[in-house]
Structure 1
Amino acid sequence: MTDLRHGRGTGRPITRRTALAGGLAAAALAAYPTSAHATQGNGLGPRRPDPGLSSADRELLLRWARDTWHSMVAMTDPATGLVSDNITGDLSTAGIYTSPTNMGGYLWSTIVARDLRIITPGEASRRIRQTLQTLQGMEHHEASGMYFNWYDPRDGSVIYAWPDNGDPVVPFVSSVDAAWLGAALLVVRNADPANSKVAGAMFERMRFDVFADPTFWKPYLMYGGFYLEEPTRLNNPPPTEPRDLIGEGRDVWYTATHHYDTIVSETRVTTYLAMAKQQVPPEAYFQAWRTFPPDWTWPEMPPVGEWRTYLGVDVFEGAHDYYGMLTVPGWGGSMFEELMPNVFVPEEDWAPESWGRNHPNHVAVQRLHGLEEYGYWGFSPASHPYGGYSEWGVEALGLRPDGYFSDIEHTDYHWDQPKPDFGDGVVTPHAAFLAMMHEPQEAIATLSAVEADFDSYGPGGFYDAIATESGQVAQRHLSLDQAMIMGALGNVLGDGMLQRYFVRGEVEREVRPVIALEEFGASE
């Protein structure tokens, strides 16, 4: 979220050099050798090298994938093909609400289950067809092609009152939730010939520029989303502003103080899709913060780095130093922020001087932090072991002053003080699965230990979160977290499977040359 609080300078020396500016920008984009790379793998994008898995490793991962898929099936309504947001660990009771992200996660998980031979191609196509047919008949914001944030999975109806307590719900279109459904539709278009036409038409009508604010002080940052009406009947209505960014002739109410403005965020997938569809200019990618500028003293840690310019946009290429590794932080320091878009975009291959450094560093720092403090690792927003939901992360990898914490006690880390004694650490299995795309053996080791040492595994695979000191486990599954596990396993076992489906065509053509330009302030 945007925060415009400025502080005093840190006194660190900052240098400025120009990577690309003015007339050089067009030349650099034109000269990028996309055609040579695009021919590799039959034009499907780069193929990830074999991670060196043994046959025993592969069988273990397939067992985890089969059980995880079992939970997705249990969460899915047989009449509508809509997956629920969550289900109890015994797979007996599913939630009665769902979101576009959940729907998208089920679609890409079905493709992974097919390609890993957990289900047949016929079953996969039937499941996808059922979901798409339901989506086609559901109420949504037709001018943008976007769906609202909450539906009843039993019939696809819009939720206007929260099922748990009856609180009012005003239909809201979330930019990041819309993007995950869009990503799934693109995967289906490129991966399932039986449903390609329908999925492609649904993706084609999506207008991601409806979220991009061209008048913001950092142009084309994405709003959190918009309401179709002023949300005055909510108990705590957020500050909103009426605007007509899509030109449909009427206003919608945007999240006035909420723009996604950090690059290490799951929300960068929204910008990727808008770029792929040429709905925002390429320079939009460089508007988000890497770290906040060095003269802002309120963030979690002072950054080190330097200024560079890309496509006419000045970027402070800052990083945080933790465990001796320079890593570009996210808002909270979670694996989800760093690596969920990487399930679809081979960022480390396309941008070796930025994501090619940051993804391995982030994974390594999470691993080092977790093993030193708790004996296990992998931190990302998920269930709370004692009930509800919470945001878990490694605080030093976040910009947020009060952090995403890695333990129940919310032990606060300060960069300029001795490292504290951390408490009951909470690991989230989906985080280690995401990390498996970069450290397969290390991720397998920690997941195997979690399965062996705790009551952490059920008929639907790993439960959502485990407190490593008390042994308390959140014995439920969230469909998004299960879908991230399926996506990561698809890439690890299927040679970058989801990435190849996603990038075919406009994504590689429009996104790859842009992100290839950058050099993060992170070291190997």
Structure 2
Amino acid sequence: MLKKIMSLLLLFVLVISSTLPAAASAEHKNKGKEVALSKQLKAISKNTYRYFEDFTDSNTGLTYDAVRMENGKLSSQEFTSPTNISMYMMSTVSAEEVGLISREKAVKNISKTLTSLEGMEKWNGLFYNWYYTKDASLMTDWGQFISTVDNGWLSAGLIVIGQAYPELYNRTHSLVEDMDYSTLYTPEVGQMRGGYDVATGSYTAHHYGAFYTEPRVASYIAIGKEDVPKEHWWRMFRTMPESWDWQAQIPKGYTETYDGVEVFEGHYSYKGIKYVPSWGGSMFEALMPQLVLKEKELGKNALGLNNKRHVDIQIQYAKDQGYAAWGMSPAATPENYSEFAATPLGMDGYKSDGTVTPHATFLALEYAPMEAFKNIQALKRFNMYGKYGFLDSVNVETGEVTNAYLALDQGMTMVSIANYLQDGVIRDYFHQDQIGKSPEDLLMKETFSIQ
């Protein structure tokens, strides 16, 4: 009997021993890929940040909206928006975090931007949508529009800066405190307006009703500032009600009550995968907010899980379409700018014509790093990588590359890389501030119907 036991033990040891080299080899291989990805991301961030170094006005600290290469010549759009300003500031923090610039340089450059912001024309502390980069003056010929979503992103950037550089906190905090989001909120509806036209004295006809879109950052900040009640978070639609049959799918789900508000926790499905849709189905609607919000860490049963589902479906949808790369999101085109998406992911999905934009890959980094690594190589094969990192888009069906760089998309790339390489550092800064910290329970308590 003892001999039999000893034989079985020997057999067990031999089996375990034979599997260890394979397992160790796989682990070593994955580690090698992670190191290669990190090295490549560092190189990409250096080129990407060069955009902000070369196309930010040295006096005002304001970054050009976009640049295009036409017939071998550079054409600059020397105006900027609140979102662009935020992307520049957070990209500068990101550049310091990954070792591209010194802390001293970062603070000096951002101080110029803050000086411009302090002197800009505003409405109830909120910023207009377009200013000239040369002198920070208002672009009145484009209309005097106050955008809810753009102000939300500027607030987010200011909050991050105030925590990354405490010596700038009083300036950033003062700007954010003055931004009165209550002026864009409709209590009877429980939602934020799209914006306000100062010239005509009129609000937009629409509210931001869809929850899983990029304006949720503005909503989160407005709640954190106590400009609007927490109820607002629950008054937005996860899907539109089942009776609204114009939407892409009739949602399935159930009603749940949070903080005394009934919420229809609906979902759509793609090939058996459940998800809460965005409005158009693009990557930046889904994942831009998680650049600053701890959705991955705190919203494990809701936003974090849904972010992962959107990445998975973006990848699967591109594969189903036969595309050579994935990542559909609004981007520059040879003609101008257009909206693209993995169409099924939207309530009223944007088009999919083979146009892919690199910023979508970087937004997905923390949810699918190895898939992103492969996609970066696939995108480089289209000859769209250069002095300022990736050009803004390519049609993978025709091979046509858009010879343009956008401040918004360069910024999303920079912040995504910093968050991946430095364990969510930009999100950490945002949540260190009381405005970012106080509504965290909203992220934690919800459970989407996609389990």
TM norm structure 1: 0.78
Shift of 1:56: 2.1
Among 168, 174, 178, the alignment partner of 1:205 is 178
State yes or no: 1:515 paired with 2:443: yes
Whose radius of gyration is greater, 1 or 2?
2
Q: Mean alpha-carbon deviation: is it higher for 84-93 or for 439-448? A: 84-93
The Cα shift of 1:313 comes to: 1.6
Tell me the residue number matched to 1:405.
351
The partner residue of 1:341 within 264, 269, 289 is 289
Aligned ranges for residues 236-255 of structure 1 at < 5 Å?
A: 252-255=201-204
SS at match of 1:377: coil
Q: Check if 1:180 corresponds to 2:153.
A: yes
Higher relative contact order (CA 8 A, sep 6+): 1
Distance 2:331 2:100 in 1: 26
Q: Is the 8 A contact 2:324 2:378 kept in 1?
A: no
Q: Which runs of 5+ in 2 are unaligned?
A: 1-29
Matching of residues 305-384 of structure 1 within 5 Å: 305-373=253-321, 374-384=323-333
User: 1:117-516 maps to which residues of 2 (within 5 A)?
Assistant: 117-141=99-123, 144-161=124-141, 169-216=142-189, 219=190, 221-230=191-200, 252-255=201-204, 257-373=205-321, 374-384=323-333, 386-400=334-348, 403-407=349-353, 425-451=354-380, 453-516=381-444
Q: The residue matched to 1:352 in structure 2 has which SS? A: coil
Deviations along 1:416-445, whole A, 9 cap, x unmatched?
Answer: xxxxxxxxx111100110011211111111
Number of matched pairs: 418
Specify the alignment match of 1:98 in structure 2.
80
Letter aligned with residue 94 of structure 1: S
Q: Matched residues in 2 for 1:157 and 1:356: separation? A: 39
Contact 2:163/2:433, CA 8 A, preserved across alignment: no
Aligned-residue offset at 1:302: 1.4
How far residue 91 of structure 1 moved from its aligned partner, in angstroms, is: 9.0
Counterpart-to-counterpart distance in 1, 2:97 and 2:74: 27
Distance in 2, matches of 1:88 and 1:464, equals: 10
Check the 8 A contact 1:71/1:91 in 2, yes or no.
no
The letter for the 2-side match of 1:117 is G
Q: Provide the secondary structure at the position in 1 that maps to 2:131.
A: coil
The amino acid that maps onto 1:405 is K
User: Hey, what's the Cα distance between the residues in 1 that align with 2:394 and 2:148?
Assistant: 30
Alpha-carbon separation, structure 2, partners of 1:150 and 1:207: 19
- TM normalised by structure 2 equals 0.90
Deviates more, 1:275-284 or 1:88-97: 88-97
C-alpha distance in structure 2 between counterparts of 1:438 and 1:521, whole Å: 20
Deviation for aligned residue 1:508: 4.7
- Residues 227-272 of structure 1 deviation map (CA, whole Å, 9 limit, x = unaligned): 2231xxxxxxxxxxxxxxxxxxxxx4211x2110111100000110
Q: 5 Å matches for 1:58-97?
A: 58-89=38-69, 92-97=74-79
| In structure 1, C-alpha distance between the alignment counterparts of 2:399 and 2:304, rounded to whole Å | 35
Deviations 1:180-200 (A, max 9, x none): 110000001000133222112
CA RMSD of aligned residues (A): 1.5
Question: SS where residue 131 of structure 1 aligns?
Answer: helix
Q: Distance between the aligned counterparts of 1:100 and 1:359, measured in 2?
A: 25
Unaligned runs of 5+ in 1: 1-50, 162-168, 231-251, 408-424
- Contact in 1 for aligned 2:302/2:446 (Cα 8 Å): yes
Aligned-pair distance for 1:356? 2.8
Report the AA paired with residue 194 of structure 2.
G
Q: For 1:180-223, what per-residue CA distance to the aligned partner results, in whole angstroms no more than 9, with x for missing partners?
A: 1100000010001332221122122221222111122xx2x110
* TM superposition shift of 1:320: 1.0
Give, in whole Å, the separation in 1 of the partners of 2:225 and 2:118. Answer: 21
Distance in 2 separating the partners of 1:78 and 1:389: 27
